[in-house]
Amino acid sequence: MVTVPQSASAPLSAPIELSFDYTRSLGPTLSAFMTGLAERRILGARASDGRVFVPPAEFDPVTAQPLSDLVDIADEGSVVSWTWVGETLPGQPFDRPFAWAFIKLDGADTPLLHAVDVPTADAMTTGMRVRARWTDSPAGNINDIACFVPADGAAPATAAPAERVDPVEMITTPVQLSVQHSASMEETHYLQALEQGKLVGQRCPVCEKVYIPPRSACPTDGVPPGEYVELPDRGVVTTFCIVNVPFLGQRIKPPYVAAYVLLDGADIPFLHLILGCEASEVRMGMRVEAAWRPREEWGPTLQNIEYFRPTGEPDADYDSYKEHL
Amino acid sequence: MADVAVVAFAQAPQERHTSGTTNGVEALVPVFEQLYAATGLTNRDIGFWCSGSSDYLSGRAFSFISALDAIGTFPPITESHVEADGAWALYEAWLKIKTGEVDTAIAYGFGKSSAGLLRRTLALQLDPYTVAPLWPDSISIAGLQARLGLDAGLWSERDMADVAVRSRRDAETNPNAQLQGSKDADELLAEPYFADPLRKHDCAPVTDGAAAIVLASAERAAEFTERPALITGIAHRIESSHLGGRDLTSSPSAAAAGAAAGVDGSRFDVAELHAPFTHQELILRSALGLDGDVRINPSGGPLAGNPMFAGGLTRIGEAANRIMSGEAGRALAHATSGPALQHNLVCVMEAAR
């Protein structure tokens, strides 16, 4: 979705959602820790200075040797610091207010960071006793501990240890970020012109080269761009490739031609499709023109041009575009 | 090896939200123009370029490549990039001059913090196995750190508020500052908590911005400014990524970086500290032995404007400016990166003699 600005002073802007499920292999130490979580056990690592790290550090902070002395730690301990989350963020353990806390589990020397489920900040104090609340189906990651709750002496809800599981050697950690992506003012002008069926570039005031799309600075001279230049919708194929390989998200059945098209009057080509002839007929220097989609489908995008097709004119001389390869 | 000096500094206005792209070009072009005007150099004269920025912030891959448009890269230039604050780009540029390979360099940093939800994005700098999957945000991490010191009696909420008041009042004389002026401490302490025990005033604002510094060999520095700020020491140190394994109420890495950079108890006229939270300034002052005589963050510091990936470089620039203007003879600048002051850089500068 693209938001069209009301005035020319605002650039086009649209949200993009980036997400990726990172798969992370675990070394021996973290593998043991995650396997323990899947069995509702918390493991710490004893370092050479005698301190027990939870979560286990993979390497000794003093000697830098791998840590292999893993010990069972209680799933209950004391809060050594806390802060209150009034407005939660996506991905956090709760979508209602909660506390983050550093919790020193019994048997550990370093605190673990996790969430504490209490209704208000008034219920939090440094030194309070808390106990892990385990998820129903632990899978071998830090979220197997759903949160901590005040340890008020009542029996834990999930007292029974889980069955032994196969070693957990890999975890998946999904990452998702929301970014509001803005076009530059120059790109905005270009995209809005496309919506009107026009191709607009910009001329560098120093080297006088014409860039399409226009850029916020001439990449050769580093100066802000000068005048806008309307360009024709025809030009020359400078170089091309024939796509024979299918891939995820492909919109056209191979084989087809992806080519650099240098519009007449421009100094930089852009990538587009060449259709309207056999792939084997496409050649460097071939004259092409835009095949526009129906006007009612136009938006602020170069996709308004569905592809370029041969004009039938004689090929351009190599010398006329050799500087643009 | 060649001595190195800061000879010019420029920055974009620090703003809560700019309408530009995340590639920094619009912000950097005027910043570079200021540097060319101040030094008489052109983009063709700079021996080495180094940038600090982050793709996590910009939400696109290789965003620093797009930023190169702001320089103009034909004929080809020599450039590098760090996925860190521009202060670390300056460190690389300093090394490049030290080796004698070049005698001028520009280090720059830029970040459009407003493009995403900054405190959430910063959760991704945490341990990706056992911490980041919970998505603890950067303000919550700072809140946990602040309470450790409060409970230990190392500082009070009033000490923290005093830092905010001083910073934002000092920012009134900084035309680039995002936040200027402050209520007094009593009024601030009457405000509700934002992330108990932090209030809004304890946190640096979310800032879009850019900054750049021209470095030159000491031999050539006088060509570009009357009073170069000679870098007499620069060093950085990092602590474990194991949050619970660190003593968060002190900063051994800042102390170690300071010692390596020549912080030995001798007097500083001014110190610019990159503390995005009030209590972190108190930690840094203690770690670097900065007593009451030292003027701290006369620019207003990060609490008045903290452009991600330019904020640390800005500290070096602001401190150098005090020397170049003749106000200070010896200055300390500090930059930080990572959660709860994990990674710290200290740069000591003196007026060239």
**Cβ distance of A55 and B129 shorter than 8 Å:** yes
Nearest to A83 among B21, B140, B240 (CB): B140
Nearest to B245 among A61, A175, A182 (CB): A61
> Which pLDDT tens digit goes with each residue over A6-35?
445 789 999 999 999 999 999 999 999 999
> Which pLDDT tens digit goes with each residue over B121-178?
999 999 999 999 999 999 999 999 999 999 999 999 999 999 999 999 999 999 999 9
- What whole-number percentage of chain B has pLDDT above 90? 93
> Which pLDDT tens digit goes with each residue over B264-284?
999 999 999 999 999 999 999
CB < 8 Å from B in window 133-162 of A:
141-143
- Between A223 and A36, the more confident residue is A36
Substitution target in A23, A48, A83 with the highest count of B β-carbons within 10 Å is A83
Q: What is the pLDDT of residue A158?
A: 53
**Cβ distance of A61 and B242 shorter than 8 Å:** yes
d(CA A116, CA A102): 10
**Cβ distance of B151 and A115 shorter than 8 Å:** no
Q: What is the pLDDT of residue A154?
A: 63
**Cβ distance of B29 and A82 shorter than 8 Å:** no
Residue A67 pLDDT grade (very low, low, confident, very high; cuts 50, 70, 90): very high
Could you give the residue ranges of the DSSP H alpha helices within chain B? 25-39, 55-58, 63-67, 86-98, 118-121, 138-151, 157-170, 185-189, 218-221, 252-261, 278-287, 311-324
Q: Which helix (H) or strand (E) holds B4?
A: strand B4-11
> Which pLDDT tens digit goes with each residue over A70-95?
999 999 999 999 999 999 999 999 99
Q: Which positions in chain B touch A81 (Cβ < 8 Å)?
A: 144-145, 147-148, 151
Give chain B's radius of gyration (CA, Å): 19
Which chain B residue shows the shortest CA-CA distance from A222? Answer: B72
**Cβ distance of B128 and A57 shorter than 8 Å:** no
Please report, as a single letter, which amino acid is at residue B302.
P
Question: B72 to chain A nearest CA, in Å?
Answer: 4
Starting at the edge strand found earlier in the chain, the sheet holding A210-211 runs A210-211, A199-203, A228-231
Question: Is residue A302 helix, strand or coil?
Answer: helix
Residue A4 pLDDT grade (very low, low, confident, very high; cuts 50, 70, 90): very low
Please report, as a single letter, which amino acid is at residue B20.
G
**Cβ distance of B196 and A173 shorter than 8 Å:** no
Report the pLDDT averaged over residues A297-321. Answer: 97
Q: Which positions in chain A touch B128 (Cβ < 8 Å)?
A: 22, 24, 173
